[in-house]
Amino acid sequence: MPIVVFLHGGMEETKIRVLELYSGIGGMHYAAQLANVGAEIIFSVDINTSANEVYRHNFDRTNQQARNIESLSAKEINKLKPDIIMMSPPCQPFTRVGLKLDLEDTRCSSFLHLLDVLPHLETVSFVLMENVVGFETSEMRNAFTEALTSSGFYFREFLLSPLSMQIPNSRNRYYLIAKKFTDFPFGSETNILTALPCTGCDIDVSAQETTLQSYLEKNLADKDLARYLLPDKTLMKYWRILDVRQTSDTSSCCFTKAYTHYAEGTGSVLQHCSNEPFRTRFAEFEKDGDIAHLKTLQLRYFTPREIANLLGFPAQFSFPETTSLRARYRLLGNSLNVFVVSRLLKLLLE
């Protein structure tokens, strides 16, 4: 169970020791900070070199290691004495665009290893896991929940989007929270929840305004704006399928790791010049094919900083200067929503 530290004056501070697996660029770490539950990341592991560089750039005091999770033994984990495991395992075996090999996918091997060591972990009392929609119908999910149950955990599953918290970005994801000793006072293990229970309704995660405007970079310089404008060839070829959003919109499509690389289904684009009539300009272009009509709208990609804002990464989060623009989009597309995870963490530890 969590370690209780006695401070001067007899006050208590609960220190919850977190083992962060598949740590990526630190979404779980920031969620633990935002939840304000006294959580301390004692050890962090990921095998992705680019993600590790970003993680260490932002959390230079955390013991973060580039390792295959299969190299973690129960003995080593027990020496760390973690109270909770927070993780976001590889999603490719379960995505709608993947091969859906499920348990047969080699990228599941590290997760299966964790299931093998789970019964031997002496101090872990809580688990929080994030993955893509589709995981809930996988064999991997069945193996995971069976391992939890046989190790004495109770669990609840969720399919949640930031939109449910009035954050203007659709990023529907599967989540599981689990704890030992006592069952949850809401839901059941046979139903997947699509909203947070009322017991968590009073949680304040300091969410920003409900429109996209609040998440955008202010006063982009002309040279920076030019960097994000859609190329003419993209406008000409894909104008019919672009998901164009205004600054006043209260939603946007999920940003994937292929954002800016592919036009369809990878995320919304923004009409930077909000004074121009969007539908009129598209109708004019459809009529005569003159791209000048579309260029007046200044359609641009959301910047990495803006996507990070929508994902709940705080203002102090940044990328190393050596991280390319393409890599920034890819890493963000593989990340998670900090706001949602922080809500679930508080719910788990109530």
| pLDDT tens by residue, 107-140 | 678 999 999 999 999 999 999 999 999 999 988 9
**pLDDT 10s digits, 151-195:** 999 999 999 999 999 999 999 999 999 999 899 999 999 999 999
Assess whether pLDDT exceeds 80 at residue 6.
no
Return the higher-pLDDT residue of 6 and 130. 130
Q: Compute the distance between CA of residue 46 and CA of residue 48 in angstroms, rounded to an integer.
A: 6
The residue-averaged pLDDT of 64-74 equals: 95
pLDDT-derived band at 90 (thresholds 50, 70, 90) equals: confident
The mean pLDDT value of the chain amounts to 90
The residue-averaged pLDDT of 51-64 equals: 98
The residue-averaged pLDDT of 138-143 equals: 91
Contact 18, 50 (CB under 8 A): no
Q: Which CATH architecture has domain 3-204+336-349?
A: 3-Layer(aba) Sandwich (3.40)
Contacts of 333 (CB under 8 A, 6+ apart): 255, 256, 257, 258, 259, 266, 267
Q: What local confidence, expressed as pLDDT, does residue 2 receive? A: 45
Return the higher-pLDDT residue of 15 and 198. 15
The residue-averaged pLDDT of 216-223 equals: 90
Q: Regarding the domain with residue range 218-302, which homologous superfamily does it belong to in the CATH classification? A: DNA Methylase, subunit A, domain 2 (3.90.120.10)
Q: What local confidence, expressed as pLDDT, does residue 11 receive? A: 47
Active centre residues (catalytic): 91
Return the domain boundaries, the chain: 3-204+336-349, 218-302
pTM (2 d.p.): 0.92
Q: What local confidence, expressed as pLDDT, does residue 248 receive? A: 95
Q: What local confidence, expressed as pLDDT, does residue 106 receive? A: 58
Assess whether pLDDT exceeds 60 at residue 297.
yes
CA-based nearest residue to 307, from 25, 75, 29: 25
Assess whether pLDDT exceeds 80 at residue 3.
no
Q: What local confidence, expressed as pLDDT, does residue 336 receive? A: 97
**Residue tagged 């959580």 (tokens):** 39
Return the higher-pLDDT residue of 55 and 204. 55
pLDDT-derived band at 94 (thresholds 50, 70, 90) equals: very low
Q: What local confidence, expressed as pLDDT, does residue 298 receive? A: 97
